[in-house]
Structures are given as C-alpha cells and as structure tokens.
Amino acid sequence: MPEPILVIDNVSKVYPGRRGMFGRSAEVQALKGVSISVDRGESFGLVGESGSGKTTLTRSILHLEQPTSGRILFEGRDLATLSGAELRRLRARVQIVFQDPYASLNPRMTVQDIVTEPMVVHQDVLGLNGRQRTERAAELLSLVGLGPQHLRRFPHEFSGGQRQRICIARALASGPELLLLDEPTSALDVSVQAQVLNLLCDLQDRLGLTYFFISHDLAVVRYLCSRVALIYRGELVEEGETAQIFDAPETEYAQMLIGAMPEVAVPSAGRPSTPMT
C-alpha cells in the first residue's frame, strides 16, 4: 500500500467577522471539513474557482494559517504539535512554487542569491558552506534547463518561463520531498506551459517528488495529476482517480466544470523538457 506523506483530516477554517462602522460583518467559513490523503510520490490535484478555499488550505499546509478544527499531518506528525525548531526543519522538506514568477523573485537579488537563500535558511539541516552552495545552485539550474552562466544575472533578464524555472530551482534547493504547486503555469504562455509541465514530470521521475498541485485549469490537472479533488466554497464536492472524475463525474458541479472545459492539446506524458538558454 502507498504511504501517505500528507494527511488533511477534517480541516475547517473560520475567519471572524470584521468590525466596521455599521457593526461586525458575518464570519467567513473558508474551509468546511476538508479531508485529503496524498500518497508519497504521487501528483494530487486540487481544483476550484477563485474564493473556493484553495489558498487557505495551502497556507494551512505550510502552517501559515491555524485551522479552526481538524489536523494536518506530514509523515504522521501533526503540524500543530511541532516546536519552532521542528517546524523549521519540516519546511526544508515542504516547499512551494507560486503562481507569478514575476512577483515571487526579488528583483534586487541575483539568481545565485535567490537559489542559495533556502540553503542559508536551512543551514542546520543541509550543512553546506559557501562554495558548496554555489556548486549546488549551478547543479539546480542545470536540472531545470538553465545553466551556471545564469547565476550572476538578475530576474529582469529572463523570460517568464525561465523565471518560473528559477522558482522551481529555488524550491528544490532545500531538498524537499513535497512540493506545493500553486497555479505554477497559469501566468505563462501556452507553449511555455507545456515546457514547464514536462519539466515537472521529469523532475518527479528523477527526484521522487510528491506534488500537491493547486489549479483552476482542468486540462493541466488532467495531464499532470493521478488523483484530483474538486473544492467549492470551502467544501470538497468530489474526489477520485483523475480518469474517473473526468470520464464519469458524479456531482453536478463536476459535470458543469468538465463540460465547460475547452479541448486543449496537452504535451505527451513524460516528454523530457527542452533546456532554455
């Protein structure tokens, strides 16, 4: 049986109402009893519209939000029970790639500084000196289709697809086992999306990564993920094998989403990514 690496157990999140001129607004329930189990080495997709609770769940997995109720477990350990030092060590093993590569890179930092920053933050886990960090950064750039010649450049010197590759290299710098992919291709051109998706598939095969893929793009999720869950207004409405959900959706919401999905050509599974220079 596959071993779960991430378990989200009946998680709810309620934000209290805000006090205003005319009294306090109503509380907002962002998540309602969400339960998901992600197996080690798989790609799990979470699909939902804007405001469906995807971001709140992502922040809860990173322990940036505290669930109102329920538990989130990484390798069987409840995040709420971890000490500060234990949580820092865990964050070396759980990393995120954000949606917008333009906004998620510091324009004043070189690529070398960007990619080595997690190695500095997690020095107690990785134990790399300055020279080793530079060598590791060069290796990571090569792994994502760039090269050592890009280390001294700044983010504005790269295209959107290249910037997202830098973001992926940064996410890999601490040696994570679980990557949260928050709409990592939605800000890219269609042709570049295919390159980045192929890169993610290649990296998963090479490194044995587990992906938790958050998106509103059903075509991308269908290509990348083996299982998928649909979330609507903070509540899971359907979950299962990707082929089953797309070929025979059970709920009206799933049928509506899939019925509205355009026919989009996706890259062949497992195709190696093309290096970008």
Give a three-class secondary structure readout of the chain: CCCEEEEEEEEEEEECCCEECCEECCCEEEEEEEEEEEECCCEEEEECCCCCCHHHHHHHHCCCCCCCEEEEEECCEEHHHCCHHHHHHHHCCEEEECCCCCCCCCCCCCHHHHHHHHHHHCHHHHCCCHHHHHHHHHHHHHHCCCCHHHCCCCHHHCCHHHHHHHHHHHHHCCCCCEEEEECCCCCCCHHHHHHHHHHHHHHHHHHCCEEEEEECCHHHHHHHCCEEEEEECCEEEEEEEHHHHHHCCCCHHHHHHHHCCCCCCCCCCCCCCCCCC
pLDDT at 125: 87
113-143 pLDDT per residue, tens = 999 999 999 998 899 999 999 999 999 999 9
> CA-CA distances (angstroms) from residue 215 to 132, 179, 266?
35, 14, 16
Angle, helix 130-143 to helix 111-121, in steps of 10 degrees: 120
Residue 272 pLDDT class (50, 70, 90 cuts)? very low
pLDDT at 180 over 70: yes
Residue 75 pLDDT class (50, 70, 90 cuts)? very high
pLDDT at 258 over 60: yes
86-114 pLDDT per residue, tens = 998 898 999 999 988 889 999 999 999 99
pLDDT at 273: 37
Region 165-194 average pLDDT:
92
pLDDT at 97: 95
Residue 146 pLDDT class (50, 70, 90 cuts)? very high
From 60-64, 91-95, 126-130, 186-190, the region with the lowest mean pLDDT: 186-190
Residue 275 pLDDT class (50, 70, 90 cuts)? very low
pLDDT at 71 over 50: yes
From the list 187, 205, 195, 183, the residue with the least C-alpha distance to 266 is: 195
pLDDT at 276: 39
Backbone angles phi, psi at 107, to 5 degrees: -65, -15
Name, in order, each residue with C-beta under 8 angstroms of 119's C-beta and a sequence gap of 6 or more.
Answer: 126, 128, 133, 136, 137, 173, 174
Residue 1 pLDDT class (50, 70, 90 cuts)? low
Mean of per-residue pLDDT scores for the chain = 89
From 6-10, 23-27, 34-38, 218-222, the region with the lowest mean pLDDT: 23-27
Name, in order, each residue with C-beta under 8 angstroms of 244's C-beta and a sequence gap of 6 or more.
Answer: none
Q: Which residue has the higher pLDDT, 121 or 2?
A: 121
Q: In what order do the strands lie in the sheet with 210-215?
A: 94-97, 178-182, 210-215, 43-47, 227-232, 235-241
Region 234-238 average pLDDT:
94
